[in-house]
Amino acid sequence: MKKGYLVLENGAVFEGDLIGAIEASGEVVFNTSMTGYQEIVTDPSYAGQIIVFCYPQIGNYGINKLDSESDQLHLHGVITGEQCEAPSHYLATGSFSSSLLQNQIPSLTGVDTRALVKMLRDHGTMRGKIMAELSEDNDEWLSEQSFVTNVSVKEKTYYAGDGPHIILMDYGYKKSILTSLQSLGCAVTVVPFHTSYEQLVALQPDGVVLSNGPGDPEALSSCFETIRLISETYPVFGICLGHQLLALAHGASTRKLTFGHRGSNHPVKHLETGKVFITSQNHGYEVVEDSLEKTGFALTFVNLNDGTVEGLKHQHYNIQSVQFHPEAHAGPSDTAFLFDAFLKQITRTGDQHYAFT
């Protein structure tokens, strides 16, 4: 391995060992999870980003054939304190670093990740570059853009099942959302994010799930009207980006968080029962609570760390959404029951007072 560098847009430089002579730029974000690194790097929501792992050693149990959340990696880079090159697990098919190399994802290890994460917490998310050689010319940074076009499926795919027919609108969906629906017997059709209202109606769904995905939800403003029409016609469940898009489609607003929520230990409170759940999260934007006043939405979950909006239900339409990931992977399965609740939501169409419990 040779020396490499992470250069942030504020001029800060962090030195480490570059695994693979590959360079890349992206939005530098951090994840606090202790395990689940394979699920994290394969989550399409990280498209365009460089992930800093807070946990000091990554790769202990290697990479396997079961835990990937997508077929390819969409992130732009990985930063770690230490990477294990001799993993120990009976399912391991290779090391973490070798998997990144095979997918041409640059990895910088031996970095002071505590100092780096502290800087990102204090100053907010920043753009950065992984570089093999330091350069004085750092004016060209990765520009803000929507990666949804890159990560969404190009054609619809049908998965048979004996239960309700669910349309999964793909903004960068995780495999575990699909498998969660399948485990409940649902037939699922995964469709591209730009699928029209008329095309969706022709598929005759019983309900619709709006998936997670990368980037600023405002970048998908061309989809808002379609989402509004869908959610006024069918039972809809929004997850992460899908939650934000539902709110925007009904007149709410969103804004960027200072450093986002990325990890598997975020506590949220269910306002209807008072129960607290530990959740898996991965997002950089939030729905602005003050903007919900005339949208017809009511709060269902709030974040106990910073009070941000974590769940919504509509008072007139059969719509529910959560900012966190009920499918987890990586993370606790405390809120997996929300998929069961969604199926009840479908069978109780027209009951506008039904809420997740």
Clarify whether 327 is annotated catalytic. Answer: yes
Clarify whether 261 is annotated catalytic. Answer: no
Q: Which of 74, 243, 283, 325 is catalytic?
A: 325
Helix (H) or strand (E) holding 347: helix 337-347
Measured CA distances, 34 to 60, 230, 239 (Å): 11, 38, 23
Q: Measure the CA–CA gap between 243 and 248, rounded to whole angstroms.
A: 9
The token duo for 34 is 């202790």
| Closest to 270 in 3D by CA, of 293, 244, 300 | 300
Helix (H) or strand (E) holding 203: none
Residue 94 has what DSSP assignment? B
Q: Which of 74, 266, 327, 329 is catalytic?
A: 327
Q: Which of 240, 283, 310, 329 is catalytic?
A: 240
Q: b/e per residue, 137-173, with b = 16+ CB within 10 A? A: ebeebbeeebbbbebbeeebeeeebeebbbbbbbbbb
The token duo for 3 is 């020396």
Q: Find residue 282's DSSP bridge partners.
A: 262
Clarify whether 329 is annotated catalytic. Answer: no
Reduced to 3 states (helix: H, G, I; strand: E, B; else coil), residue 290 is helix
Residues tagged active-site: 240, 325, 327
